[in-house]
């Protein structure tokens, strides 16, 4: 009796990924060519069982021997002899994984943000990330369409769950795309997600056939001697005791590395061109590796043609509950966690803040100290504003390029206050980009020594708007050319 389902053996997964890369196909492309939904293609490429018919179809599309991929027969003696001439890459990968294990755990195994007294283990606090495959700010929607699902009478909480596009688990998105650009607002959890990927790979729970490489792009840009990305990785591995420099190239050429590049937006303006060229050259040369890169939404206009762009979704109610439960469990106070969730349900405006993981962390810290939220909600909003405007970058020693030198943080607060007053007074909870830019022009025109040239003012207003969105996340592009306060 024929087997109804088949599974790719672990040693065949590299062949599958290489075949996809050579054809420049995604898992979705493979599914389309075989006339099925994307889910079976994702399962096939991840070493999970699919129907025999689809299994054979996938292998045929990739020009692979389905019996070899399924482990039902071994490769021919000729192929075996050719492989034996190559270094035993599987053994090399496992050897390097062991050598870098302690380093990856030390750099990626914990998180510490804001005023935490001590680090928390990523595994203890991590809440699964969801991904939007359509960037919310690029949707072509009118203001009346955005208002359809909103309760204007209760504006404090009408944005909760506003984006209704399908959410995909973060790990599934990484498995689906060989090169992934993860975009997100400030505090959305991009770095935590990257550390989780590195940790899972390090533990053999995700892409165990690859070596995890975690690089903060700001640190790479500022590394002494301006090394290439390959040399930078080699330096990391040498610090872990790897003596053979050719091992790095062997691993990379065989596509056996999970390359995690974090914080493209944190690279200084003076280093941008060099770092962009370094990344493009590296990803082209070692295209069979798996790449994930993070950047803030609206930071800059980057073009990485081979990367698929996705967005980190805001936390939903289930994720908020999961995070809070884990947080107070690490503090050995689960009852306070239950009370936190109850009080959050009773306070819908504060629940809206909790959709951002960074602000949710702030809420947990505040609640942990006082066992309740402040009676005056404006105090909490002020603290959240300080986090996004000042503390988040300062705590991590990140200096942002000041796009308009005369616009200090205090003046940004004044500008945002005026915009909020004028738009909310009119009931304009969503407003067009041109309206925001005109408000910015009117503000900076009155600053001492301001440029009076209208064209220069327009360019300045566009840059200021993008910097407020990218650096602080206080204004968000909800659809193309339409903004709201976050």
Q: Are residues 99 and 119 in the same domain?
A: yes
Task: Dump pLDDT digits (tens) for 198-236.
Answer: 999 999 989 989 999 999 999 999 999 999 999 999 999
Task: Dump pLDDT digits (tens) for 295-332.
Answer: 988 666 667 888 988 989 889 899 999 999 998 998 88
In-domain check, residue 344: yes
Q: Are residues 278 and 156 in the same domain?
A: yes
Q: Are residues 134 and 276 in the same domain?
A: yes
Task: Dump pLDDT digits (tens) for 129-168.
Answer: 898 887 766 666 666 666 665 655 554 444 444 555 678 8
Give the H/E segment covering residue 216.
Answer: strand 211-216
Mean pLDDT of 33-48: 89
Q: Are residues 167 and 110 in the same domain?
A: yes
Q: What is the CATH number of the domain that holds 13?
A: 1.10.260.40
R_g (Cα) of the chain, nearest Å: 25
DSSP-derived secondary structure letter, 290: E
Boundary (domain end) residue, out of 278, 312, 346 = 312
Decide: pTM greater than 0.75.
no
Boundary (domain end) residue, out of 265, 286, 312 = 312
Give the Cα separation of 124 and 144 in Å (integer).
42
Give the Cα separation of 198 and 204 in Å (integer).
10
Give the Cα separation of 144 and 188 in Å (integer).
27
Is 164 exposed, middle or buried (CB count within 10 Å of its CB: 0-12, 13-18, 19+)? exposed
Place of tokens 């945002």: 416
Lowest-pLDDT choice from 51-65, 314-328, 359-373: 359-373
Task: Give the chain's end-to-end CA distance (angstroms, integer).
Answer: 59
Task: Dump pLDDT digits (tens) for 413-457.
Answer: 788 788 888 877 777 778 888 888 888 888 888 877 777 777 777
Q: What is the CATH number of the domain that holds 422?
A: 1.10.10
Examine the pLDDT at 377 and tell me if it is beyond 60: yes
DSSP-derived secondary structure letter, 36: S
Mean pLDDT of 327-342: 90
Q: Are residues 111 and 253 in the same domain?
A: yes
Q: What is the CATH number of the domain that holds 235?
A: 3.40.50.300
Give the Cα separation of 413 and 196 in Å (integer).
34
Examine the pLDDT at 34 and tell me if it is beyond 80: yes
Give the Cα separation of 42 and 133 in Å (integer).
15
Examine the pLDDT at 32 and tell me if it is beyond 90: no
Q: Which residues pair with 293 in a beta bridge?
A: 181, 261
Q: Are residues 117 and 266 in the same domain?
A: yes
**Residue 161 belongs to what domain range?**
89-312
Cβ atoms 291, 307 nearer than 8 A: yes
Boundary (domain end) residue, out of 262, 277, 312 = 312
In-domain check, residue 80: no
Q: Which pLDDT value is given to residue 158?
A: 45
Q: Are residues 356 and 458 in the same domain?
A: no
In-domain check, residue 446: yes
In-domain check, residue 82: no
Buried (b) or exposed (e) across 74-109, using 16+ Cβ within 10 A?
Answer: eeeeeeeeeeeeeeebeebbeebbebbbebbbebbb
Q: Are residues 295 and 188 in the same domain?
A: yes
Domain count, the chain: 4
Q: Which pLDDT value is given to residue 390?
A: 61
Task: Please indicate whether residue 483 or residue 289 has the higher confidence score (pLDDT).
Answer: 289
Nearest to 387 by CA among 414, 416, 415, 360: 360
Q: Are residues 287 and 145 in the same domain?
A: yes
Q: Are residues 385 and 279 in the same domain?
A: no
Percent of the chain with pLDDT over 90: 29
Please enumerate in sequence order all residues whose Cβ is within 8 A of that of 192, keeping only pairs 6 or more positions apart, or say none. Answer: 111, 122, 126, 129, 357
Task: Dump pLDDT digits (tens) for 382-424.
Answer: 777 676 666 555 555 555 555 555 667 777 778 878 888 887 7
Q: Are residues 211 and 326 in the same domain?
A: no
Q: Are residues 108 and 223 in the same domain?
A: yes
């Amino acid at each position: 009796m024929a087997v109804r389902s088949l599974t790719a053996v672990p040693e065949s997964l590299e062949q599958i990924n290489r075949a996809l890369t050579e054809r420049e196909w995604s898992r979705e492309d493979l599914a389309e060519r075989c006339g099925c939904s994307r889910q079976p293609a994702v399962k096939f490429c991840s070493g999970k069982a699919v129907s025999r018919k689809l299994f054979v179809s996938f292998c045929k599309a990739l020009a692979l021997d389905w019996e070899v991929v399924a482990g039902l027969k071994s490769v021919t003696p000729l192929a075996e002899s050719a492989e034996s001439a190559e270094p035993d890459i599987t053994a090399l990968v496992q050897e390097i994984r062991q050598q870098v294990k302690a380093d990856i755990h030390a750099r990626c195994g914990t998180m510490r943000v804001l005023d935490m007294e001590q680090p928390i283990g990523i595994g203890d606090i991590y809440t699964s990330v969801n991904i939007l495959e359509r960037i919310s700010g690029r949707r072509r929607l009118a203001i009346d369409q955005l208002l359809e699902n909103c309760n204007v009478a209760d504006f404090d909480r009408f944005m909760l769950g506003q984006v209704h596009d399908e959410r995909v688990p973060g790990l599934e998105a990484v498995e689906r795309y060989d090169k992934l650009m993860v975009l997100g607002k400030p505090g959305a959890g991009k770095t935590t997600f990257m550390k989780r990927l590195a940790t899972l790979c390090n533990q053999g729970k995700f892409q165990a056939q690859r070596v995890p490489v975690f690089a903060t792009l700001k640190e790479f840009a500022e590394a002494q001697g301006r090394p290439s990305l390959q040399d930078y990785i080699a330096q990391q591995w040498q610090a872990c005791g790897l003596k053979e420099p050719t091992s790095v190239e062997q691993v990379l050429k065989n596509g056996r590395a999970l390359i995690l590049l974090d914080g493209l937006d944190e690279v200084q303006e003076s280093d941008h061109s060099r770092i962009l060229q370094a990344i493009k050259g590296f990803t082209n040369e070692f295209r069979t590796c798996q790449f994930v890169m993070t950047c803030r939404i609206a930071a800059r206009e980057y073009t990485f043609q081979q990367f698929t762009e996705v967005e980190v979704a805001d936390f939903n109610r289930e994720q908020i509950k999961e995070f809070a439960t884990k947080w107070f469990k690490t503090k050995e106070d689960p009852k306070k966690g239950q009370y936190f969730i109850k009080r959050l349900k009773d306070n819908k405006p504060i629940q809206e803040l909790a959709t951002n993981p960074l602000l949710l962390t702030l809420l947990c810290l505040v609640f942990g100290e006082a066992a309740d939220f402040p009676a005056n909600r404006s105090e909490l909003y002020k603290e959240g504003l300080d986090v996004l405007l000042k503390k988040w970058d300062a705590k991590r020693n990140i200096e942002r390029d000041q796009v308009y030198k005369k616009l200090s943080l205090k003046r940004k607060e004044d500008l945002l206050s005026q915009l909020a007053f004028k738009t909310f007074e009119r009931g304009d909870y969503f407003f067009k980009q041109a309206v925001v830019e005109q408000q910015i022009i009117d503000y900076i025109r009155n600053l001492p020594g301001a440029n009076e040239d209208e064209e220069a003012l327009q360019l300045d207003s566009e840059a200021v708007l993008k910097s407020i969105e990218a650096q602080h996340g206080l204004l968000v592009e909800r659809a193309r050319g339409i903004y709201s306060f976050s």
